C-alpha cells in the first residue's frame, strides 16, 4: 500500500444521511420557495419554478400510463439538464446515498463512473452504454449533480456540450442554480417526487415550452 493509499484509508467516510449543498446555496441557489425573488417571472410547474431566458427550451417529461409529469428537461447552451425534486427529511440529506446508488446502477449496466468535487459538492461523471437496438452504438456521457435543501433534494443530470465546453458548463451550472423548489407543507415520505404540473396558463410558459 502506498503512502497515499494509507492516508485515504484513514480518512473518515461521510455519513450517508449528511446534507450536501454549497455553503452559499440560500443566496446563490438552487433556491427554496421562501428564498426566491418574487419579482422574477418564473414558469410555475408546481414543485419546481424555472426562470425563462433567451435560448432556453423547456420540456415536461411524462410517465407512460399515468400521464404524471416526472421531470423537467431543459435544453440550453448546446446541452441538456434534467431536473427532479424529491421530498427529504428536515435535518438529513439524500444525495450521498442516492449518488452511491447511481454509481452502482451505472456499474450494473456495464458503464463506468468517476466521483469528483464540483461547484455543488460531490458529483458523478458516468459513461453508460447505449441501450441495445439504439441507432448509434457506443456510450452516453452524463454528469450527475445533487443538492440537499430544506426538506427537499434536487437532482440534475447534465449532458451535451456542458461536459466539454467551459462556457456551456458555466451556463448550465447557472441554470441549475436558478431553479426554485416548492416543497409545500403536505407530509410526504422521503424520496417521493414532489408533484409537478403543467404551467397554469399558456402565457406563463416560454414560447418554446412543450409537453
Contact 156, 36 (CB under 8 A): no
Q: Rounded to an integer, what is the distance from CA 195 to the centroid of its chain?
A: 15
* Domains: count for the chain: 1
Residue 209 lies in a domain: no
Residue 172 lies in a domain: yes
pLDDT, one tens digit for every residue, the chain (211 residues): 444 344 334 434 556 779 999 999 999 999 999 999 989 999 999 999 999 999 999 999 999 989 899 999 999 999 999 999 999 999 999 999 999 999 999 999 999 999 999 999 999 999 988 876 555 568 899 999 999 999 999 999 999 999 999 999 999 999 999 999 999 999 999 999 999 998 875 433 443 443 3
Between strands 112-118 and 180-181, the pairing is: unpaired
Residue 211 lies in a domain: no
Residue 156 lies in a domain: yes
Please indicate, yes or no, whether the overall pTM of this predicted structure exceeds 0.75: yes
Determine the structural domain holding residue 139 and report its residue range.
Answer: 3-204
Residue 103 lies in a domain: yes
* CATH code of the domain covering residue 67: 3.40.1000
Amino acid at each position: 500500500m502506498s503512502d497515499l493509499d494509507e492516508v485515504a484509508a484513514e480518512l473518515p467516510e461521510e455519513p450517508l444521511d449528511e446534507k450536501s449543498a454549497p455553503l452559499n446555496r440560500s443566496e446563490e441557489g438552487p433556491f427554496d420557495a421562501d428564498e426566491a425573488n418574487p419579482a422574477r417571472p418564473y414558469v410555475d410547474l408546481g414543485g419546481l419554478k424555472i426562470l425563462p431566458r433567451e435560448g432556453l427550451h423547456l420540456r415536461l417529461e411524462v410517465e407512460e400510463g399515468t400521464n404524471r409529469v416526472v421531470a423537467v428537461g431543459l435544453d440550453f447552451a448546446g446541452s441538456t439538464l434534467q431536473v427532479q425534486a424529491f421530498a427529504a427529511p428536515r435535518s438529513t440529506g439524500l444525495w450521498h446515498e442516492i449518488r452511491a446508488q447511481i454509481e452502482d446502477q451505472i456499474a450494473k449496466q456495464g458503464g463506468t463512473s468517476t466521483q469528483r468535487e464540483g461547484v455543488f459538492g460531490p458529483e458523478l461523471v458516468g459513461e453508460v452504454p447505449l441501450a441495445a437496438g439504439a441507432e448509434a452504438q457506443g456510450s452516453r456521457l452524463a454528469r450527475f449533480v445533487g443538492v440537499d435543501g430544506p426538506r427537499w433534494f434536487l437532482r440534475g443530470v447534465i449532458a451535451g456540450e456542458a461536459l466539454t465546453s467551459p462556457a456551456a458548463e458555466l451556463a448550465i451550472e447557472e441554470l441549475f442554480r436558478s431553479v426554485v423548489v416548492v416543497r409545500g407543507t403536505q407530509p410526504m415520505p422521503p424520496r417521493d417526487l414532489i408533484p409537478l404540473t403543467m404551467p397554469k396558463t399558456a402565457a406563463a410558459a416560454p414560447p418554446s415550452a412543450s409537453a
